[in-house]
A and B are shown apart, each in its own frame.
Chain A
Amino acid sequence: MTEPTVRLVNISKSFGEVKSLENVNFEVYPGEVVGLLGDNGAGKSTLIKIITGYHQPDPGGEIYFHGKKVENLTVPKARALGVETVYQEKALADDQSVWRNIFMGREIANRLGFLDIKQMRAVTQRLMTEHMGFTSKAVNPDTPVRTMSGGERQGIAITRALYFEAELIILDEPTMALSLSETRKVLDFIANIPKAGKAGIFIDHNIFHVYPVVDRIVVLDRGRVAGEFRKADVSLEELIDRLYQVARTGRLEAARGGKA
């Protein structure tokens, strides 16, 4: 059996008094997209920020990548392991150029730290024409991203996650600021993640966005995993019923929601 791309065992995370996550077990396998659902404040963003190395879990939790335990995960370590993320929050540095945003945190540089700007510009130019659909000569790698539309900016954030040969692509509410057609493109992209043998985690409030493009759904409620099931086992209508039930009781009916 293949090892999961990432496996979290017994993960808890507290911020002072607030317990954002409690004893969460979670895994994603290569070739699948997992939908992460739950109310505001359920702990979805906290969970993925543990995978991306931004938050360190409370003592006792364990993180495995491809079956290997990783201690003291940091953002650069996670990115080196192939984790790329499109965040819900303001993810770009507005006054900086497109190329500086694309290469944020992993600039191409020599051993002394001097930047290879020529190469970063060239790569950005290629990504802009091939993947972001910029055709105008007026928009170039040196354009500050502040001047761009919401869709263009999200395009940069997504392309940034893609360019670096990601093995696990995490999207935390990527459609929040997007128009209908822009949302469509993001969803198409997510649906294509498994075809390349990669893994994905998709967080979105809109169940109609999530259901069609994921293979498995994990429901978080107040920091705990309330339930988990394969899409094949539950229709969209049933899923909606169950989410209401979770909101009321904090539990999922055990009946057909068994683990994969």
Chain B
Amino acid sequence: MTAERVSTVAKPGRSPFTLWLRTHALQIGITIVAIGIWAIFAIGSPQTFFRGNIYQAFMSTTPFFGIMALWLTLVVITGEIDLSFPSIMTISMWVFATVMMATGNLAVALVLMLLMGLSAGMLNGIIITKVGVPSLVVTIGTSFFWRGMVKVLTGGTGTSLLPMRDTIFYELFVGRLFGFIPMQMVWMALFAILCWVLLNRHRLGAHIYLTGDNADSARLMGVDVDRTKIIVFGLAGFSAAFAGLVASLEVTYYWPTLGEGYLLNTLSSVFLGGTSVFGGTGTIYGTFVASFIIGAINAGIVAIGMSGFWTELIYGLIIVLSVVTQTIVGRRIK
């Protein structure tokens, strides 16, 4: 075939290094923010921040929403949003608690719980793609639906998970590795690696980016956009169930209100991490680091003795600021 059609001369100033800076701008940015916040806390309260306890506390509580934020990142990269995960947490945990009480078989309870989360997530995806309703609307609807169902089923009463206490499951999900590292942290690290591999080294990830970037073109080139979205919502539901279990095991109690209070910190982790609200860009590294920033801010607010009422205000501010900065910085770079 004819060679050199549409030939071009490269614009000046596109050295490999500036290219690397451009493509990693958000990751570099979030790293600097994390170091900056750590420095502020360390200077402000050295006696707390130069001891291990505080880090153990971060590793214990951050995964409750961090695990969710990792998988939610995939949803947001496809250009969609999921607001129903807190409710999927509680309905899935209700399945777990109920099956555990009825059969005493923890393995069966675990499998059914994860299946519940997976199906609820896929249901979101199917309504969004096959019926064509925006994900914002669908997941607000399913969110009320699942939480409402839990309220009806439980009448507001919880279930003690004490039977779990001395089982291998307890050690596996919320035990302490080497007597120090909370197992939920190990799971979060494993999920981060899994998400990163899926997103960057697997066909599913390639399709996730393409779907969020230009769904029409992706469809024209043979990407099954609907299937990609259904899978991603399914995975988000699955991880909601998992995160719900971990959060409940930590307190050995299933509260029907489980998940309430996780919406804002999860969303702020994703957006602070540099994932674009418009879809098509986002990184697991960004979300991972941002989750810990969010966790630290929460701890920091409590540590300086501010009221818990401040946390919502600050998370809200973080979401708005990060989305605004991203959009402005993104425009500059492009």
A interacts with B:
yes
Quick one: which of A76, A85, A95, A133 contacts B6, CB cutoff 8 A?
A: A133
A side interface size, CB within 8 A: 61
CA distance A109 to B3 in the complex (A): 28
Q: Is the CB of B15 within 8 A of A95?
A: no
List B residues 89-128 near A (Cβ within 8 Å): none
- B4–A131 contact, CB under 8 A? yes
Within 8 A of A (CB), among B191-226: 201-204, 206, 209-210, 213-214, 216-223
Contacts of A192 on B, CB cut-off 8 Å?
1-2
A contact residues vs B (CB 8 Å cutoff): 49, 52-54, 74-76, 79, 85, 87, 89-96, 100, 103-107, 109, 113-115, 117, 130-140, 142-144, 146-149, 151-152, 154-155, 158, 162, 178, 182, 185-186, 188-189, 192, 196
Could you tell me if B219 and A54 are in contact, using CB atoms closer than 8 angstroms?
yes
Contacts of A137 in B (CB 8 A): 16
Question: Are B217 and A114 interface neighbours, CB within 8 A?
Answer: no
B1, B6, B217: which has the most chain A beta carbons within 10 Å? Answer: B6
Q: Is A105 a contact of B2 with CB atoms below 8 Å?
A: no
Q: Is A135 a contact partner of B10 (Cβ separation < 8 A)?
A: yes
Q: Is there contact, CB below 8 Å, between A93 and B280?
A: yes
Q: Which residues of A contact B217 (CB under 8 A)?
A: 87, 89-93, 104
Interface residues of B, dominant DSSP? loop
Contacts of B332 in A (CB 8 A): none
10 A-B Cβ contacts within 8 A? A54-B219, A74-B222, A75-B220, A87-B217, A105-B222, A107-B206, A115-B203, A133-B6, A142-B23, A155-B6
Residue of B2, B16, B219, B334 touching A140 (CB-CB under 8 A): B16
Contact indicator B202/A136 (Cβ below 8 Å): no
Q: A152 to B1, Cβ gap below 8 A?
A: no
Q: Judging by beta carbons under 8 Å apart, are A196 and B222 in contact? A: no
B202–A114 touching, CB < 8 Å: yes
- Shortest Cβ gap from B281 to chain A (Å): 5
What's the least CB distance linking A82 to chain B, in Å?
A: 13
Interface size on B, residues (CB 8 A): 39
Residue of B nearest to A54 (CB): B220
Task: Give A93 to B212 CA distance when docked, in angstroms.
Answer: 9
Residue with the greatest number of chain A CB neighbours at <10 A, chosen from B11, B14, B222: B222
Per-residue interface assignment for chain B, residues 239 to 261, with 1 indicating a CB less than 8 Å from any chain A CB and 0 otherwise: 00000000000000000000000
In the complex, which of the residues B8, B222, B276 contacts A133, with contact meaning CB atoms closer than 8 Å?
A: B8
Bound CA–CA A136/B14 (angstroms): 9
Known: A100-B206, A109-B203, A140-B19. 5 other contacts (CB 8 A): A49-B220, A75-B221, A93-B218, A94-B214, A149-B8
A32 to B133, CA, bound (A): 44
- Nearest-neighbour CB distance to chain A for B273, whole angstroms, equals 16
In the assembly, what is the distance between CA of A146 and CA of B7, in Å? 17
Chain A minimum-CB-distance residue to B281? A95
Min CB distance B284 to A, Å, is: 16
Tell me if B203 and A107 are in contact (CB < 8 A).
yes
Given A75-B219, A104-B217, A138-B14 in contact, is the A93-B209 Cβ separation under 8 Å? yes
Measured between beta carbons, the chain B residues less than 8 angstroms from A158 are 5-6
Main secondary structure of the interface of A (DSSP, over half): loop
* 1/0 contact string of B37-60 vs chain A (CB within 8 Å): 000000000000000000000000
Note all chain B residues with C-beta closer than 8 A to A115. Answer: 201-203, 206
Give chain B nearest CB distance to A113 CB in angstroms: 4
Chain A nearest Cβ from B184, distance in angstroms: 28
Q: Are B8 and A152 in contact (CB under 8 A)?
A: yes
Is the pair A138, B5 in contact by a Cβ cutoff of 8 Å? no
The residue on B at minimum CB distance from A149 is: B8
Given contacts A104-B217, A140-B19, contact A113 B202 (CB under 8 A): yes
Query: Does the CB pair A185–B5 fall under 8 Å?
Result: yes
- A219 to chain B minimum Cβ distance, whole angstroms, is 25
What is the minimal beta-carbon distance from A65 to any residue of chain B, in angstroms?
16
- B9 CB–A CB distance under 8 Å: yes
**Assembly CA distance A174 to B14 (angstroms):** 27
Question: Smallest distance from the beta carbon of B97 to chain A beta carbons, Å?
Answer: 35
Q: Hey, which chain B residues are within 8 Å of A92, CB to CB?
A: 214, 217
Other-chain residue from A53, A85, A133 in contact with B5 (beta carbon distance below 8 A): A133
Bound-complex Cα distance A87 to B222 (A) = 13
Most chain A beta-carbon contacts within 10 A, residue among B5, B8, B201 = B5
Kindly identify which residue among B5, B7, B14, B209 contacts A188, using a CB–CB cutoff of 8 Å.
Answer: B5
Question: Given the interface contacts A75-B219, A144-B23, does A94 sit within 8 Å of B6 by beta carbon?
Answer: no
Chain A hits for B218, CB < 8 A: 93, 104-105
Chain A residues positioned under 8 Å from B15 (CB to CB): 138
Beyond A113-B204, A115-B201, A131-B5, whether A52 also contacts B220 by CB under 8 A is yes
**Partner pick for A94 among B2, B206, B213, CB 8 A cutoff:** B213
Q: For the complex, what is the distance from the CA of A106 to the CA of B220, rounded to whole Å?
A: 12
Note all chain B residues with C-beta closer than 8 A to A186.
Answer: 5-6
